[in-house]
């Protein structure tokens, strides 16, 4: 079973950068991830939402991983931490951070950013022969500590959706309105569905109708047999 742990960037005391309309990284994913979690609940995976403690304490995330492993030693566990970029002048594009030493995360990050870029019309940064939209980190690079501190996960990714500190086409599409924020949460879910080839657990309505028709046909057949016996 795939387990996805959604991690709100930063924490309740250190809330990270602020967007052009005053939303912090921590606050944004407090609104986005519940939407993502609700949508993914329809699929064949388990989704958890966590946040780190102040002072860069990832104990809640690592404890969640331990509890999952205790119940299902063969679980595939993915951590997905949400952030956004900030720069002193207008900049565009999305990127996923992954460790160079972690090829599984790197591959999933590449697939995710491809889908995200297509769905949101936000370009991918760091286009290379190896991957588009993925910034490969060595253990001592900035941002690598957020990934390296997580223990026991099969894949670890940190997502920077865009540069939201200035008003630009990317930022407006993500946080321009309440509807944009909800849509962003849905897009993350859909990208995860596509990245991990998740299957919906909800039955197709047409399948339910066909199944009901089949039951009715069987009942009518039984009734006909009873009529013949009675006659």
User: What are the extents of the domains in the chain?
Assistant: 2-195, 202-231
Interior/surface letters 188-223, b for 16+ CB within 10 angstroms, e for the rest:
bbbbbbbbbebeeeeeeeeeeeeeeeeeeeeeeeee
Q: Are 193 and 40 in contact (CB under 8 A)?
A: yes
The CATH number given to 2-195 is 3.40.630.40
Q: Residue 130: phi, psi to the nearest 5?
A: -75, -40
| Cα 32 from Cα 84, distance rounded (Å) | 12
pTM: predicted TM-score of the whole model, two decimal places: 0.86
The per-residue pLDDT of the chain, averaged, comes to 92
Res 14: pLDDT: 95
At residue 142, the pLDDT reads 80
* 204 has a pLDDT exceeding 60: no
Instruction: Read off the pLDDT of residues 68-95 as tens digits, 9 standing for 90 and up.
Output: 999 999 999 999 999 999 988 888 999 9
Number of helical H runs and strand E runs in the chain: 7, 6
Distance from CA of residue 139 to its chain's centroid?
A: 24
Mean pLDDT for 116-137 is 90
Mean pLDDT, residues 180-205 taken together: 91
Instruction: Give CA–CA dist 124/134, Å, rounded.
Output: 8
Find the helix or strand (DSSP H, E) in which 49 lies: strand 45-51
CA dist., res. 218 & res. 230, Å (int): 19
pLDDT one-digit tens code per residue, 37-55: 999 999 999 999 999 999 9
């Amino acid at each position: 079973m795939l387990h996805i742990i959604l991690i709100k960037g930063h924490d309740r005391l250190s809330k990270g950068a602020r967007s052009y309309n005053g939303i912090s990284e921590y606050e944004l994913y407090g609104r986005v991830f519940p939407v993502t979690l609700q949508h993914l609940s329809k699929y064949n995976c388990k989704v958890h939402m966590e946040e780190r403690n102040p002072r860069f304490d990832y104990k809640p995330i690592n404890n969640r991983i331990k509890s999952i492993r205790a119940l299902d030693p063969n679980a595939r566990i993915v951590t997905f931490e949400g952030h956004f970029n900030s720069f002193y002048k207008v900049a565009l594009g999305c990127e996923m951070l992954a460790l160079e030493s972690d090829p599984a995360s790197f591959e999933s990050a590449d697939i995710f950013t491809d889908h995200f870029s297509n769905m949101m019309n936000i370009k991918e940064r760091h286009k290379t022969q190896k991957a588009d939209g993925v910034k490969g980190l060595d253990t001592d690079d900035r941002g690598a500590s957020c990934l390296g501190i997580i223990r026991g996960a099969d894949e670890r990714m940190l997502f920077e959706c865009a540069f939201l500190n200035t008003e630009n086409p990317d930022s407006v599409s993500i946080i321009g309105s309440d509807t944009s924020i909800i849509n962003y949460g849905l897009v993350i879910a859909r990208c995860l569905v596509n990245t991990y080839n998740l299957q919906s657990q909800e039955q197709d309505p047409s399948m339910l109708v066909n199944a009901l028709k089949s039951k009715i046909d069987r009942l009518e057949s039984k009734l006909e047999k009873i009529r013949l016996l009675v006659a």
